[in-house]
Amino acid sequence: MEAVVVDVGSKLLKAGFAVPDQAPSMIIPTQMKRMLEDGSLTETSLFEEATVDPVVRGFIRDWDAMEDLLHHVLYTGLGWEMGNEGQILFTDPLSTPKAVREQLVQLMFETFNISGFYASEQAVLSLYAVGRISGCSVDIGHGKIDIAPVIEGAVQHIASRRFEIGGVDLTKLLAQELGKSNPLVKIDIYDVEKLKEQYACCAEDDVAYEKTKQSRQEEQHTLPDGQVITIGRERYTIGEALFQPSILGLESHGIVEQLVRSISTVSSENHRQLLENTVLCGGTASMPGFEDRFQKEASLCSSAVRPSLVKPPEYMPENLTMYSAWVGGAILAKVVFPQNQHITKADYDETGPSVVHRKCF
């Protein structure tokens, strides 16, 4: 039986058997409905109170919910049989706390009785997905942005950067902007998320973005409840906030400048290799115009070596940006498990959860 690869994000969980040139067979929301003891859903008018987020800003926060979610994925979704569990590879977000890694490996061996475990960092896996072992991953997730230089398959943690903003903050920004232009309409945040996915795009540069202020290009959109709203320049604000964080009220540099600053802390002999092998990951990075804007900003940056994006191989699935870490995990699983580089049940029984730091690095 093929190993299972699991990539758990704040918004979506990607899971499936390790077949590298295919998309993951399961892509489901990470957020779960909370059940009452009698089995009914909680009755509440506040949607937030009726749901639970097992993963917040990339890290597991609710272990009971995570256990329930993984049980559904592995036994119902992927067809594992009780007593005949297989091997599993997890993707690790940048700078995952040691305690979280240990608790995950403990959960998998003691509760799920797996036969083998491995974990690897998402930045490394995203590079594997495009055929690289060195480069830089720029991962724009639902709850965070991670910039991670990788040399010979190892994340350079001292140069890595994490920002506690992501797709969820861009959704809130869009809600604010739509509230200003449609003051009489109350828009549910979940509808705003759908509007972001449908309409968000990137202006080709900051001058083009400024011109959208005078633009009259507006569209009417009918919400599920029948209300009609107007969407105009708001659609460009989402992408622009990544290049001008002041739009989000943040005093920081744009995403390309952050990338260059991150790599400047690595030995100069590696700058070219890192910058010229930049990989964009995450759903937000797939918005129309984002890659072009990223390249244009890169051509304007002050560094001697300028960032350039790696194009995925043609044989890889479409929308690789959305689940590149999962694809990289599927590639790695084809190596570590057959070559017995993973954590076995015997390893775990002998050493305990701390074995994860010795065998998965």
**How many whole angstroms separate alpha carbon 174 and alpha carbon 193?**
9
What's the token pair of residue 48? 């937030």
Instruction: Look at residue 38 in the predicted model and tell me its pLDDT.
Output: 54
Full-model pTM:
0.93
**How many whole angstroms separate alpha carbon 163 and alpha carbon 185?**
32
Contacts (Cβ under 8 Å, ≥6 apart) of 351: 358
Instruction: Look at residue 308 in the predicted model and tell me its pLDDT.
Output: 93
Q: Which stretches within 63-184 are classed as H helix? A: 63-71, 98-106, 122-129, 167-181
> pLDDT tens digits for 254-263?
999 999 999 9
Instruction: Look at residue 114 in the predicted model and tell me its pLDDT.
Output: 98
Q: Is the pLDDT of residue 44 over 70?
A: no
Contacts (Cβ under 8 Å, ≥6 apart) of 107: 63, 66, 67, 70
Q: Is 280 within 8 Å of 294 (Cβ atoms)? A: yes
Domain 4-122+320-359 has what CATH class? Answer: alpha beta
Instruction: Look at residue 84 in the predicted model and tell me its pLDDT.
Output: 95
> pLDDT tens digits for 2-11?
999 999 999 9
Instruction: Look at residue 263 in the predicted model and tell me its pLDDT.
Output: 94
Q: Is the pLDDT of residue 48 over 50?
A: no
Tell the residue number behind the tokens 């400024």, with chain if given: 210
Strand, coil or helix: 260: helix
Q: Is the pLDDT of residue 164 over 70?
A: yes
The reply to whether 4-122+320-359 and 167-245 are identical in fold is no
Instruction: State the DSSP code for 63.
Output: H
**How many whole angstroms separate alpha carbon 218 and alpha carbon 332?**
46
Backbone angles phi, psi at 253, to 5 degrees: -80, 160
> pLDDT tens digits for 172-215?
999 999 999 999 999 999 999 999 999 999 999 999 999 988 87
Percent of the chain with pLDDT over 70: 96
Question: Structural domain boundaries of the chain?
Answer: 4-122+320-359, 167-245
For 270-288, the DSSP string reads GHHHHHTTEEEESGGGGST
> pLDDT tens digits for 270-328?
999 999 999 999 989 999 999 999 999 999 887 888 899 998 888 888 888 999 999 99
> pLDDT tens digits for 216-231?
788 999 999 999 999 9
What's the token pair of residue 103? 């608790």
> pLDDT tens digits for 59-107?
999 999 999 999 999 999 999 999 999 999 999 999 999 999 999 999 9
Identify which of 240, 237, 247 has the alpha carbon closest to the alpha carbon of residue 297: 240
Instruction: Look at residue 205 in the predicted model and tell me its pLDDT.
Output: 94
Instruction: Look at residue 4 in the predicted model and tell me its pLDDT.
Output: 98
CATH topology of domain 167-245: Actin; Chain A, domain 4 (3.90.640)
